[in-house]
Copies of this chain bind each other. A is one copy, B any other.
Amino acid sequence: MQLEVDITGKTFRSAAGETHDVLAPVRFSLGAGEVGVLVGPSGCGKSTMLRIILGLDHDFQGEVTRPPNARIGMVFQEPRLLPWRSVEQNVRLVAPEIDDAKLAELFRILELEAHRSHYPGELSLGLARRVALARAFAVEPDLLVLDEPLASLDDALAGRLREEIATLVASRPVMTLLVTHSLDDAVRLGDRLFFLSPRPARILAEVPIAIPRDARGEAEIAAIKAGLERRTQSERAGRDVS
């Protein structure tokens, strides 16, 4: 099982008639059990790339090969819940086979027990995002795509959920693609980090993290982060000089 991405370009034509190049050539692949992290400035084309990878947008140059019949779990950047279905129904509708114990467990982890019967309009944004996470986990995905899943959550909760994602990824051979603005999340969860340029996005640097996820202590993480920060600073300095 392997995800092959080879996009050579993507252009949007806006309603006003202008064209915007959103993706420059981007090429990478991801294996089962691997967590790829996309980090890049706001508006550079990350969500667009995810939509292409998931087959939601066919209007691009290049090729994407998804593992056939892979179950996909996705957390969109906005929750995208069905407003007319309760929290529980929203989850069950995409994962009809889920058993009650599993669902209860999910809701417990995400602290959603009190909200099972609420409609999305009755949730805070953070709660809605958690429902979206529950939905993505509930399908037991082969390919998990997370577009800033931990935004709008408080640090404590975000930390616990990060652990959960790590557990999920460790327990089954899931391919994971994570978009985040948090270097901390990236370093704690990722196996390979892709740093993207501003629009049109291309891969500035691909940074593999050699230490296995469960062996990364606070010290290692701090070291990696420091290394990455030094790197981007020198790069930025380099660009400023050139």
Q: Which chain B residues border A65 with CB–CB below 8 Å?
A: none
Q: Kindly state the separation between the CA atoms of A130 and B41 in the bound complex, as whole angstroms.
A: 13
Q: Give the residue of B77, B78, B117 whose beta carbon is less than 8 angstroms from that of A14.
A: B117
Q: Give the residue of B18, B117, B122, B181 whose beta carbon is less than 8 angstroms from that of A153.
A: B181
Q: Are A153 and B42 in contact (CB under 8 A)?
A: yes
Q: Does A126 contact B (CB under 8 A)?
A: yes
Q: Does A11 contact B (CB under 8 A)?
A: no
The chain B residue with its CB closest to the CB of A127 is B43
Q: Kindly state the separation between the CA atoms of A122 and B47 in the bound complex, as whole angstroms.
A: 12
Q: Are B20 and A154 in contact (CB under 8 A)?
A: no
Q: Which chain B residues border A125 with CB–CB below 8 Å?
A: 47, 77-78, 148
Q: Does A16 contact B (CB under 8 A)?
A: yes
Q: Binding site of A, secondary structure by majority: helix, strand, loop or mixed?
A: loop
Q: Kindly state the separation between the CA atoms of A155 and B123 in the bound complex, as whole angstroms.
A: 27
Question: How many of A's residues come within 8 Å of B, CB to CB?
Answer: 40
In the complex, which residues 1-40 of chain A have their Cβ closer than 8 Å to any Cβ of chain B?
Answer: 12, 14-16, 18, 20, 39-40
Q: Kindly state the separation between the CA atoms of A114 and B44 in the bound complex, as whole angstroms.
A: 12
B-facing mask of A140-161, CB < 8 A → 1, else 0? 0000000010011111111000
Q: Kindly state the separation between the CA atoms of A156 and B181 in the bound complex, as whole angstroms.
A: 10
Q: Kindly state the separation between the CA atoms of A138 and B149 in the bound complex, as whole angstroms.
A: 30
Q: Kindly state the separation between the CA atoms of A125 and B181 in the bound complex, as whole angstroms.
A: 13
Q: Are A152 and B181 in contact (CB under 8 A)?
A: yes
Q: Which chain B residues border A77 with CB–CB below 8 Å?
A: 124-125, 152
In the complex, which residues 83-140 of chain A have their Cβ closer than 8 Å to any Cβ of chain B?
Answer: 86, 111, 114, 117-119, 122-127, 130
Give A contacts to B, CB under 8 Å.
Answer: 12, 14-16, 18, 20, 39-43, 46-48, 77-78, 86, 111, 114, 117-119, 122-127, 130, 148, 151-158, 181, 183
List 23 interface pairs A-B (beta carbons < 8 Å), by A numbering. Answer: A14-B118, A15-B118, A15-B122, A16-B117, A18-B117, A20-B114, A39-B154, A41-B154, A42-B127, A42-B153, A42-B154, A43-B126, A48-B124, A77-B125, A77-B152, A78-B78, A78-B125, A125-B148, A148-B152, A151-B151, A154-B181, A155-B183, A158-B181
- For the complex of A and B, 3 pairs with smallest distance between CB atoms: A42-B126, A16-B117, A43-B124
